[in-house]
Amino acid sequence: MNILILGPGAVGSLWATKFKLVGHHVSLWGRTSKSELSLQLDDAPLTTYSNQSITSVQEADLILITVKAWQVESAIEPLLPYISEDTIVMLMHNGMGTAPLIEAKLANNPIVIATTTHGAYKPSKQQVLHTGHGYTQLGGFNAKGAQCDFLAEVMNHALPEVHWNPNINGALWTKLAINCAINPLTAIHQCKNGELAANEFAIELANITHELVEVMNKEEIKVDFDALHATIMQVVNATAANYSSMRQDVFHRRRTEIDFITGYLLQTTEKHQISTPENTKLYQRIKQIEQSWTE
């Protein structure tokens, strides 16, 4: 397939190199205007890709968008005049809320949403490290996207495991709930995920979870408090030694994905006219932290 990776950061470079290894024709669209970029996955040989080539947009069978959630809208903008209606557009990032933005611009394209638990890290522009083996779920966002289940096999060949999930919305909400519980707290307290298992966080985590359950049920995602709380604590314990991405973003004073994580929850809360004070407090605290960097 002709595959274009929009946003060759850690996740995008991991997929670019893995797709290339199994024989796909892979191009990149990064922020630099260099016409070629090279990438090295772990100890594998360096591989070279065209960058910012209009032809690669026009000929793409798949555009995989791996920028951060808040970068999606501006990243797709320069490509819009060249994207064919047959090109599948796939979003792969933490958080929710970007697919409707893409649909508004590319109403006739198949749109697919992906969520991955693989870990990737880019210590330099060229090098990408596959730091944690995970799995990837895909599902259609619109009717045309729902017909793209063959992509699971294509992607599974490059970087297993990949599953097609007809209920991707449920999977995304579960991931969002885990992120809402873990990310802001670890960012505010600048702690590792595992530290949230301490007693001092027990009541706060329970309150956050109660609110998440209420919103998810309103969205017709069937989940109860015990099950969601157990899932969140299981992730806290399984990733005890890790720093969450939001903790890292705050540490490095980079804009976080809060607007597409807790922010998306709050938008949904507003739609259903319910109140989620614990999550609102976390959202406001992260926004305050971000604002303090510009003051």
- Report in angstroms how near the CB of residue 141 gets to ligand NAP at its nearest: 16
Given a contact cutoff of 8 angstroms between Cβ atoms, the answer to whether 139 and 83 are in contact is: no
262 scored as a contact of ligand NAP (CB under 6 A): no
105 touching ligand NAP, by CB under 6 A: no
Whether 175 is catalytic is yes
Q: Which amino acid is at 127?
A: Q
Phi-psi region at 273: left, alpha or beta (left = phi > 0; alpha = psi -120 to 50) = left
93 sits near ligand NAP (criterion: CB under 6 A): yes
Does 72 bind ligand NAP (CB under 6 A)? Our answer is no
Exactly one of 18, 175, 222, 281 is catalytic; name it. Answer: 175
Kindly state whether residue 250 participates in binding ligand NAP, applying the rule CB under 6 A.
no
* 30 lies in the site for ligand NAP, by CB under 6 A: yes
CB 160 within 8 A of CB 18: no
- Closest by CA to 197, choosing from 180, 182, 178, 175, is 182
194: its two tokens? 């595992």
Quick one: which of 15, 29, 141, 164 contacts ligand NAP (CB under 6 A)? 29
Amino acid letter, residue 99: A
From 5-13, 209-217, 224-232, 276-284, span contacting ligand NAP (CB under 6 A): 5-13
- Would you say 53 and 27 are in contact if contact means Cβ atoms under 8 Å apart? yes
- CA-to-CA distance for 148 and 3, rounded, in angstroms? 15
C-alpha pair distances (Å), 231 with each of 134, 139, 207, 238: 16, 22, 15, 10
Q: Pattern of binders to ligand NAP over 145-184, x per CB under 6 A?
A: ----------------------------------------
Shortest separation between residue 173's beta carbon and ligand NAP, angstroms: 16
Residues engaged in binding ligand NAP (CB under 6 A): 6-12, 29-31, 66-69, 71, 74-75, 93-94, 116, 119-120, 122, 245, 257
